[in-house]
Structure formats: C-alpha cells, structure tokens
C-alpha cells in the first residue's frame, strides 16, 4: 500500500526553493485557545524545546516530578527537528520542582496558574517561521503571491509526510495490523498505526477530490451533493442543497472521512467517492477532518544577500506547514529532502 503523491489545486511548477527542518530554519510557536487565568490548581508552563520530540520532553518532566507521563497535559505534538514552543500543565503542587530546572534541549519560558489542565486539542493553531533558500527576488515575489492566493482559496488539508514515517513504511504496517497479519502489543504504537491507516485513506480521498476539482472546476475545490460540512461552532451537517455562499464566506468547510465507527458518512455523489476510502469494519473511533484550511497572518521577508526568504504564517491545529510549502512549490517533499546537512547547519 504505497502513499500516492499529494496533488494541489494550483499549478506552480516553476517555483524552486529549499527548506530544512532544523532548530535554525524551522520555528513553531503554539497558539493557545485563550488566556490563562493566573490562578487555580494547575501550573501552565510555556516551554521551548530544540531537536527533541514532545513525548521525550514530557518524559523528562515526568522523571523530574516522579509522576506518570499521563499526569502532564499538553495540547499537541510538535516537530522534533525544529525549535518549538508549546504549553504543558502540571498540578500546582509541583511548582517548586522547576526552580532550578536545567536541560540542554528544554527551556521554561513562562509559568502561570490556571483552573484546569491542558487537554489534547486545546490549542487554536500554530505560528510558523520557516527560512526558504536558493531563491532570487523573482522567486520571492512568486512565493508571496501564491501563498496569499492559497490563503484566499484554501489549502488541501493533507496529512504531511511526517505522519507516515521514513519512506512511508508505517502504512504497510498499519494495513497488516488491521488485517490481523501483524500483532502489536504496545498500546501507543497500535494507536499510532490506526491513525496512520485513517490518515492514509483521508489523503487518498482528498487527492481524488483535488484532481476532480482541477478537471471540472478551474482548480477551485468542487463541492458535491451529500458532502459533510463543519461549521464554525464545530457542528457537522449535510445540507440538502450545496451551500455555495456559506462555503465562499468560510462559514461551512467541507470535510473528509477518517474511517471508523460513530461518525458521519457523506451521501449521494460525495459518498460514491468516499466509499472507496472507507473501512466500515474498523472498530476504532472515526472522525471528520476539514478538507481545506486557510493559512493566515502571512509575512514574507526576502534577504537578497543570503538568497533567503523567511515565510511566517499561522495554520489551524492539526495542519502541516510542509503541506503549505508543497502547495506553493507545486511538488512533494520527503524527510530526506529537508534533512539538514551538518556542513550547512551553521551558516
């Protein structure tokens, strides 16, 4: 089961640039849902981590506090090969344990009290700052123009290459596990492979919908009868008529299926395509995911001397910055493409 190319709505094959996932060129800042109260039984830590996974960072704090990792709240996973900031929560009784905390890859930037712990998904989005290399002034102008166009028309909300591991090998493992040909005892790995399985089929569904849109709707996302939409207040619905105006005003966003139990299925024309990427026998919980997202707060700074452009933007939670970069470049990237060589690391 091989992962197919991610296809995009715009055709931009003439833009070439390089980017690298490392602590200097790839910076991510979590955007919380709202302000923290400043009082309560939980301590919120704003933490900066460098070249370390969120899980490994949580393990460091769990060891420091002598508590199970499950006692430490966090909103989402952040890239390993980057400098990232995110918020975690612990019970306020542990506050003194952080007084002399030191770690070469982790820094506590702020501490504040709050009324409850942070739960998975408790974030608004992420702010990215990424350096793009080997570009001239003409490329920089094209990149900014395309980025702003995508922000208006929408970005196909694929899961990025990071979701599927090196060479997408986890896809085959997931398929074997679901078919009962591979037994996985570790609950965390099992949960990861189920999400890989769901993500793979979502991406393949979205790819077909994008190709259909390019063929029949001048590269604007084509809505079909029976599509399931997500409203701003988080409700799912399947309107009888195609809600063109509500879609154009971003009040309703079409969604795709992450197959599993207890979730909406599309109907009519939309269901004909969706059925190809559904597994109705999967016993794990299913979900709907936005088919499109809208990058915001785009800022571009071109440094002619370094043939480099810094591209900053904000994405909703669960979205991939690398997918935005792929859409701008009109090509797919892999982990191998963005791995930073040691000789270039300290430019």
Question: Each residue's pLDDT tens digit in the chain (347 positions)?
Answer: 567 789 999 877 678 899 999 999 999 999 999 999 999 999 999 999 999 999 999 999 999 999 999 999 999 989 899 999 999 999 999 999 999 999 999 999 999 999 999 999 999 999 999 999 999 999 999 999 999 999 999 999 999 988 887 666 788 888 889 888 888 888 888 888 999 999 999 999 999 999 999 999 988 999 999 999 999 999 999 999 999 999 999 999 999 999 999 999 999 999 999 999 999 889 999 999 999 999 999 999 999 999 999 999 999 999 999 999 999 999 898 888 887 654 344 44
Q: Return d(Cα 207, Cα 212) in angstroms, integer.
A: 9
pLDDT of 343:
35
pLDDT of 126:
97
The Cα-based distances of 119 to 80, 116, 123, 167, 209 in angstroms read: 20, 9, 9, 31, 33
Helix/strand/coil (H/E/C) assignment for every residue in 276-312:
HHCCCCCCCECEEEECEECCEEEEEEEEHHHCEEEEE
Q: Could you tell me the pTM of the whole model?
A: 0.91
The Cα-based distances of 263 to 45, 218, 283, 284, 289 in angstroms read: 35, 31, 12, 11, 11
Q: Return d(Cα 243, Cα 232) in angstroms, integer.
A: 14
Q: Is 79 among the residues known to form the active site?
A: yes
pLDDT of 16:
86
HSE-up (13 A, CA, CB side) for residue 280: 7
> Catalytic residue among 25, 79, 122, 284, which?
79
**CATH class belonging to 34-121:** alpha beta
pLDDT of 347:
45
pLDDT of 168:
65
How many Å is the Cα radius of gyration of the chain? Answer: 21
pLDDT of 13:
65
pLDDT of 239:
96
CB 47 within 8 A of CB 163: no
């Amino acid at each position: 089961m091989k992962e197919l190319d991610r296809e995009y709505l715009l055709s931009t094959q003439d833009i070439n640039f390089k980017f690298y996932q490392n602590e200097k060129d790839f910076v991510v800042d979590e955007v919380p849902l709202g302000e923290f109260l400043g009082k309560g039984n939980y301590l919120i830590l704003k933490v900066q981590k460098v070249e370390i996974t969120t899980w490994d960072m949580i393990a460091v704090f769990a060891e420091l506090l002598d508590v199970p990792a499950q006692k430490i709240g966090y909103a989402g996973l952040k890239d390993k090969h980057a400098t990232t900031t995110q918020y975690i929560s612990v019970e306020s009784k542990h506050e003194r344990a952080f007084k002399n905390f030191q770690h070469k890859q982790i820094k506590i930037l702020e501490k504040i009290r709050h009324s409850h712990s942070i739960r998975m998904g408790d974030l608004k989005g992420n702010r990215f700052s990424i350096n793009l290399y080997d570009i001239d002034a003409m490329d920089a102008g094209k990149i900014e123009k395309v980025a702003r166009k995508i922000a208006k028309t929408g970005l196909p909300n694929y899961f990025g290459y990071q979701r599927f591991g090196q060479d997408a090998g986890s896809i085959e493992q997931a398929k074997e596990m679901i078919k009962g040909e591979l037994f996985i005892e570790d609950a965390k790995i099992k949960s990861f492979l189920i999400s890989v399985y769901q993500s793979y089929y979502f991406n393949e569904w979205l790819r077909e919908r994008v190709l259909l849109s390019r063929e029949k709707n001048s590269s604007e996302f084509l809505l079909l009868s029976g599509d399931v939409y997500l409203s701003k207040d988080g409700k799912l619905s399947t309107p009888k008529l195609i809600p063109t105006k509500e879609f154009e005003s971003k009040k309703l966003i079409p969604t795709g299926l992450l197959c599993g139990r207890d979730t909406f299925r599309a109907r009519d024309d939309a269901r004909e395509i969706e059925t190809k990427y559904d597994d109705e026998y999967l016993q794990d919980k299913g979900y709907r995911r936005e088919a499109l997202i809208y990058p915001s707060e785009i800022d571009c700074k071109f440094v002619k001397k370094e043939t480099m452009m810094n591209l900053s933007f904000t994405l909703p939670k669960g979205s991939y910055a690398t997918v935005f970069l792929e859409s701008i470049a009109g090509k797919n990237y892999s982990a191998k493409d963005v791995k930073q060589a040691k000789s270039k690391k300290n430019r």
